[in-house]
Amino acid sequence: MKIKTKLRAGFGFLFIIILAFGLIALFFLNSISSKAKFILKDNYESIGFVSQMREALDKGERPLSKQNAELFEKNLNLEKRNITEPGEKVAVERLGVAYSKFTNNAMSTTAKELEREIRYALRDIEELNMKAISNKNESANKEYSRAETFIALSASCCFVVLLTFIFNFPGFVANPLAEFSSAIKQVGNGNYLHKLHFNNNDEFSELAVSFNSMAKKLHDWENSNISKLKSEKSRIEAIIAQMQDAIIGINENGEVLFLNKLAAQLLEVNEKETIGQNVEELAKKNDLLRRVTQLNQDNKLLKIFADERESYFELESREIVIPNIQSDEAEPISTSSKSAGKVYVLKNITQFKELDEAKTNFIATVSHELKTPLSSIKMSLKLLTDNRIGAVNNEQMELLTHIQEDSDRLLKITSELLDLSQVESGNLKLNFAMAKPEHIAKFAIDAVNFQAEQKLIQLELKSESNLPEINVDVQKTVWVLVNFLSNALRYSSEQSKVLINVLSKDNSIEFSVKDFGKGIEEKYCKRLFDRYFQVPTDGQNKSGSGLGLAISKDFIEAEGGEIWVESSVGEGSTFGFRLPKS
């Protein structure tokens, strides 16, 4: 039999029993009620009047509000007209006198005593009527005996039947549910071999079969998953141990989760003893660990004495993020992510650092060696173009001009390479001095004025008045402005204009150079200050070495400033930098 059929049969039987008992009781109670209602009517009305008067007193307002006073007086008058029992008249008169005094003395010290007298009178009236009801009820017992006998017998039979039903019928549903609850707890504790057995041909038997199948699949999945997880854990540990970089893992509680052999050697700690310890406690006794875990993100280069020499390591930190499954009874399961700790990786870049230093030294040496022959070439060119030595024809003069331009370009590149090698080697020397911003701008304009006149380009300086002096390396600041101006002149058309702005902005002085050339595409703007990067040209303009803007950035940042560029295709470009006020 299906569960639905069982429930219907059980509740149907219960309904019939209740209905039968109700009809029997209704029959006899209706007979009794028709005989007694008129007898007890006056007594019940008196009890009702008392209840209304007591309710008016219980409102708590002293003196009584108009509404409560009217309610009390109304019921008092009704009670005076409904006196039916011996002694009730005296109690009602006592009540009237006490209420009259209470009304006139509601705020006096005797108010509580009067209220108590009122309540005693109400209680006496109520008790007289209740006693009358009891007496009348006893006199009517003979008439009730027959009804009581039948109702008692009916109630006893119904009670026995219902009690049997209550103890037996819920078991049809509750017992299987209890077994299911116990089985679910067993599975929740990891006992996937627990089985359910029901022999009835109902929904619980079908559900038990499905539950047993689910438990078996969970058991198979658990066994295969644990084996797979152990295998993957061993593989990951082997990979971490064999990596050439030092790796340190810290969980969300700040405890060392893992570290490989190389990390243990660098930190000079025991690998097995360190795992599981609090990293903050370890960092108090280990300077290198403290530097690794607290290193500023903007400076990730560490110099560590390793392999009997000073070695350079680059620090990388990654946050461990794992799925976070949240379950709420009112909402479905939702998946998010949460942090499970951090992984620190120390990459040994000593070899690359040495190669970089070798490259810097090589560039510095070659650039220095090139300056002498280039200077000799420039001197020889100057002598060749001197008419006192001898005249040259137009073709020869044109060749000499090309040689002059190329030698100037080589000399500029050589100077830039020397400046770059100073920056990379950390030997950049700044000679700070107080200078007026407008004078710096004028020095730069004077340096490129001849170049601007050749292309008929107007150089326009806009400088705010009364700008404060700034503490800078004047030579290098002018060099940066000259570099900006040279680029602007190179990419501007003839008879155009280049604007030089000098203004105060917040706590800094801003220099900017704006041209009205073809502009630079946005994808190139972010790389303009990278070393050796050159914006692709159409062949009409000679490109530089790709070092000028990179060196400009190094110079400005060394002076505590910042450099920037704004450009749009077809609208020109604006290069600028800001230097702090003194």
pLDDT, tens only, 296-346: 655 567 777 666 677 777 777 777 777 665 545 455 555 566 777 788 887
Look up the CATH number of domain 171-225. 1.10.8
Residue range 488-517: average pLDDT? 92
Of the chain, the percentage scoring pLDDT greater than 90 comes to: 13
Separation of alpha carbons 348 and 326, rounded Å? 41
Bridge partners of 344? 248, 317
Q: What pLDDT score does 354 carry?
A: 62
CA distance 18 to 23: 9
Bigger pLDDT: 356 vs 222: 222
**541 pLDDT more than 60:** no
pLDDT digits 0-9 by tens, 179-191: 777 878 877 777 7
Give whichever of 123-137, 354-368, 490-504, 539-553 has the largest mean pLDDT. 490-504
Label residue 379 by pLDDT band (50, 70, 90). Answer: confident
pLDDT in tens, 12-56: 777 787 777 777 777 766 766 655 555 567 788 888 888 888 888
- DSSP 3-state of 246: strand
How does 518-534 read in b/e, with b if 16+ C-beta sit within 10 Å? bbbeeeebeebbeeeee
Distance of CA 244 to the CA centre of its chain: 36
Torsion of CA 216, 217, 219, 222, to 10 degrees: 180
C-beta of residue 133 within 8 angstroms of C-beta of residue 140: no
Burial 192-227 (b: 16+ CB within 10 A, else e): bebebebeeebebeeebeebeeebeeebeeeeeeee
Q: How far apart are CA 182 and CA 194, in angstroms?
A: 10
Give the model's confidence band at 468: pLDDT under 50 very low, under 70 low, under 90 confident, else very high: very high
Whether the pLDDT of residue 193 is over 70: the answer is: yes
In single-letter form, the type of residue at position 24 comes to I
CB 502 within 8 A of CB 438: yes
pLDDT reported for residue 576: 95
* 54-78: average pLDDT: 81
Q: How far apart are CA 395 and CA 388, in angstroms?
A: 19
What's the pLDDT at 104? 80
Q: How far apart are CA 362 and CA 367, in angstroms?
A: 8
Contact 180, 54 (CB under 8 A): no
Give the pLDDT mean for 556-580: 92
Mean pLDDT of 151-179: 73
Residue 555 has pLDDT above 80, yes or no: yes
What is the value of pTM for the model shown?
0.41
- Dump pLDDT digits (tens) for 406-463: 676 676 666 666 665 565 555 667 788 999 999 999 999 998 998 899 899 999 999 9
Residue 95 and residue 46: Cα distance in Å, rounded?
13
Question: Over the stretch 243-281, which tens digit does the pLDDT of each residue have?
Answer: 667 788 888 788 887 777 777 777 778 877 788 788 888
Angle at 501 between CA 495 and CA 507, to 5 degrees: 170
Q: Which amino acid is at 550?
A: A
The CA-CA-CA angle for residues 44, 48, 51, to 5°, reads: 140
d(C-alpha 451, C-alpha 459), whole Å? 11
pLDDT band at 156; cut points 50, 70, 90: confident
Q: What percent of the chain has pLDDT over 70?
A: 73
**474 vs 36, residue with greater confidence:** 474
Angstrom distance (rounded) from CA 458 to CA 576:
19
What are the two backbone dihedrals, phi and then psi, of residue 200, each rounded to the nearest 5 degrees?
A: -75, 150
Whole-number pLDDT of residue 561: 93
CATH of 353-423, one of 2.30.30, 3.30.460, 1.10.287, 1.10.3470: 1.10.287
The class that CATH gives domain 244-323+336-348 is: alpha beta
| Burial of 145 from C-beta contacts in 10 A (0-12 / 13-18 / 19+) | exposed
Q: Which H or E run includes 339?
A: strand 331-348
Residue with tokens 């008879």: 495
Residue type, 132: A
The CATH number for 429-580, chosen from 3.30.1240.10, 2.30.110.10, 3.30.565.10, 3.40.190.10, is 3.30.565.10
- Tokens 């040994």: give the residue: 348
Per-domain residue ranges of the chain = 3-167, 171-225, 244-323+336-348, 353-423, 429-580
